[in-house]
Each structure stands twice: as structure tokens, then as C-alpha cells.
Structure 1
């Protein structure tokens, strides 16, 4: 059963693991590798993500409200070295359309791109270094989950065919952690463009999609079972 009830009430990246939104866990992964500037694509109930960051200290610190003079004292003020740009990319936009909508905030350097519904201990620093070495327009992190996903046709360090989610057999799949050249945005036509369809398939066909193979932890959060597994890892102190 997909976690539809909770994601109906809030954006999926705001579903909590260990009392923190999965978005927070993803950002912590990047921050651990020195990446602290984020552009977040907002869709369904995106205002909830804006409110989370606007009131971040309320979520992470003890506070005292003095009602007599309307002052707030923040205790153990937990700050992050993050600069976060939140962009409304429309409720109905597909993944490619969302990326195209935030292009003006990305600058002219290569950037990291990921989804908001999965966690991994992928070495972001190594991923970026590998991407630069390969010199391709795009690098995707490939992972090997138990086998309910689709396949990437991998030859050496190149992906020659991109097939998203047919019946999987435990081969390599799209793990959702990308490093991209801004030039890839030219391959996205409109809001209805899925990043996983023509853009990625075209990059693969042109020999411009490199694969970074990750054999460590990777866990999506598509089902209640997935969420419970992540919660268990957090509870026993084994979160990556």
C-alpha cells in the first residue's frame, strides 16, 4: 500500500522519518559533502515547505514566548549553513517540467539533482568528482535494490538504454541522485515532460549519460513498509 493518506495531507518530502521531514534528511546528506545551496521545486501544498523553513527554529529549538511584550527567546538555536530557494513549479508539472522552471536559479555550473522521496548514503563528493572526470552532460547514480524497479542497460561507465520501471530482476536502476550540466535543460520541452522519458533517453542515446554505480544503502519511500523500515533504522541508530 502506497503511503497515499499521509501524502494527501502534506507534500511527500515533508513525510517524517525520526521526527524530521525526509527532505531534511536528503539536505543533510548533501550538506555533509559541503553542498549547502538548495533550490527546491514546490508542487502540491508547497506552502507547507515554505512554512517549515520560515519557522525552522521553531521545529528545531526550545523557545520561550513572553506574551507580555510579544518577544521570543530561542534556546539551543539550531542553525544550518543552508541557503534555500523555494520555487513554485506547479501542482501538475512533471519532473522535467519542474527542472525547467527552476533553471534561472541554477546558474551556469553543473549542479546536483535528486528526488524528494528516497534516502541513500551515496558519496556525493565522489559522485561529483566522477561526473567531472567523465565529462558527460549527465551522470545518474545507479543502485541495485531487491528487484521491483526497472533497468538501466549499463556498458562500462555509460548507459546505452534507459528503461524506467518495467518488471525488474535486481539489475541496476535509477537511484535518483544526478549531477547535470545546465545544457540538459534544453532537452526539456514543457511542464508535461517527464525527466525520466525523452530527456534521459535522449542523453543515453547520445552517449551523454554516465553511470555512477552505488552499492551501498538506498531506500525509496513509496510504501508504508518503506517508511517503517526507514523509521526502524533511525530508531536503532543505524541511519546512514
Structure 2
């Protein structure tokens, strides 16, 4: 929640308070809502400017208790509801404030539509791995680095940066190698996109993780790493928050992948047939190519030494570092076929 605890707690009044006290509160706190609770701190209802105006028109006076004017059974949300769902709920119901309550209906927060629609500026860095050769997309990548190929009319690297910017990320590092000068020419220092962009220049291919060994100075906070050919609706900010809550060293976004065997599968023991399964579906978790790293995780890398992500993770496991998975269900595409560019 973008609204501070100090702010929303100022908007709490008991149900024995008066309309006058509610008016004074609305003027003082300036969030256009009063949260009415009982002695146990349980939310009983809410009061807005409109509720007070309607009450005065009905003949109530400034000394009338809030219990006579409050909106009972107010719409509320739980703390684990995603930002998108909260915005949808508020927009659909045309409300601008919505209380956050726990399982016992105690008030623990407040969403304001204006605040939640404004991205919280993140100081965290985002590193985008954009140095690959793009061999799967030949001949399109003969004279154009893969991250500059257009998806739905826009370079995929620009799509990633713009989406991250909408979530409050403004500091980017692009790891480049193959035709990297074209990426630098296109983005420059990021000024045209309203962000700051620096570059890691690989003298030779360093693998899917090796370029991270060139990050200098090390970030002070956890940072996002994403492949430059992954287009997704994932919320990078929620992934980052999840990583922090879990006190992980590295978090990997993973996605369920389903593959259906085109044939009937026969289970045997020796020459005896024990079972038969018609075209079974195999489900597994795959690496989505998006991560959160704590700065200390990079200590297992050697600058200018080739390293792929599986090896990096193996080194961290050897050091008993906490490595966790973040399951995603959002639309996700690893751009690797010409059809993906349409």
C-alpha cells in the first residue's frame, strides 16, 4: 500500500464519535474517508463527504453519532489481493478508497485509487541480458540484435523497459555483445524514455549469467535480472516484494509448462503389460528467465569468465544460500520464432 500507516490511522474514529468530529477529520486528514471501528478495532463502516451531506439533508445534526450515518458493510479487501484486482474492484464499483482488513476484520491498511494508480518509485536496479546472438531467429538477426526486433510494432527491449517503468523502475543496465552498438544507438542513456540506462559490454559471449560479474559498483539493494527476449505481464515490483518477504538470496520466476505425449504410453514389467495411458499430459516448472538477486549473490562470479545460470545457481546452492521459486501465471512469451514477432 502506498498510503502510510500513519496517514490511514489518522482516519480512524469510534462509532460513538459525532458527525462534527467526522467533518473535522475529513478536513484534517484529507483522504475523503473516515474508518469507523468498535472498541476492539473491528471495522464497523465508513463515512464519506457524501454520507454526511445526505445525513444533514435528512435532518441529523452535527452532534448525531456516526453509527447513524456510516455506510455499513463497506467493501473491503484482504492484504494478499493483487494490485490489479484492487484497481479493477475500485474502478468497477466507482470507489476511490477501500479499507484493507485481516481475517478478523481489523483495519490494517487503506488503498486510495489515486495512490495505487501512481507507481511507487523503486530505487532497485534492473539488468536486462541483451547480448545474445539470436540464432533461432535467423535471418532476422543477421543485421539486427534480437532485443531490437519488433513485437507488435515495437522493439521487445523497449516493451520490457516501458513496462518496468510503469511499475516504478527507472534505473537499467543493458548487458550487450552482438551488434551491441545498435542497442546503444537506439536507447542512448535512456533520456528519451525518461529512465537512466547504463551498459555492460561483453568482449566475448559470457553466457546467460556471466555478464553479471561485470556489474560495478555492486547495487546496494536487491535487483531484477531479466532476459531481453522475454515478453510478459509479470509485475516485477510484486516479484521484488516477494523476494524481500521470503528473505531469499535469489528468486527465480517459474512457469508451468504442459506437454502432451502424442502417443499412448504403455507401462510394462519385463514383457508383461501393466498399464496403458492414452496421450498423457506431462507438467513441469520451467525457468521463465526473470530473477531477483541480492548483491552478495554475485560474489560467486568471476569478472570476464563465462557462466550460465544453472552453474551460478549450483554455486549458490553449494554455499547453502536460499534460492526460491516464484510461480507466475501471467501471459509469458520467450520470443524465439518468426511468428512471435507479429
TM-score over 0.5 (shorter chain):
yes
Cα deviation code 1:58-102 (max 9, x no counterpart): xxxxxxxxxxxxxxxxxxxxx42200112212232212221111x
Distance 1:184 1:84 in 2: 22
3-state SS in 2 of match to 1:225: helix
2:340 aligned residue (226, 231, 237)? 226
- Map 1:1-240 to 2 at 5 A: 2-54=136-188, 79-101=192-214, 103-147=215-259, 169-204=282-317, 206=320, 208-227=322-341, 231=342
Post-superposition shift, 1:42?
1.0
Distance 2:162 2:259 in 1: 27
Cα deviation code 1:133-176 (max 9, x no counterpart): 0111100111124449xxxxxxxxxxxxxxxxxxx943111111
Length, aligned pairs only? 187
1:224–1:37 distance in 2 versus 1, CA, 3 Å: same
Distance 1:14 1:147 in 2: 30
3-state SS in 1 of match to 2:306: coil
Kept in 2, the 8 Å contact 1:121–1:217? The answer is yes
1:169–1:13 distance in 2 versus 1, CA, 3 Å: farther
3-state SS in 2 of match to 1:8: coil
Q: Which has the higher contact order (CA 8 A, sep 6+)?
A: 1
1:120–1:105 distance in 2 versus 1, CA, 3 Å: farther
Kept in 2, the 8 Å contact 1:188–1:195? The answer is no
3-state SS in 2 of match to 1:2: helix
Distance 1:224 1:25 in 2: 18
Kept in 1, the 8 Å contact 2:150–2:156? The answer is yes
Q: Which runs of 4+ in 1 moved over 6 A?
A: none
Give the aligned CA root-mean-square deviation in angstroms: 2.5
Post-superposition shift, 1:14?
0.8
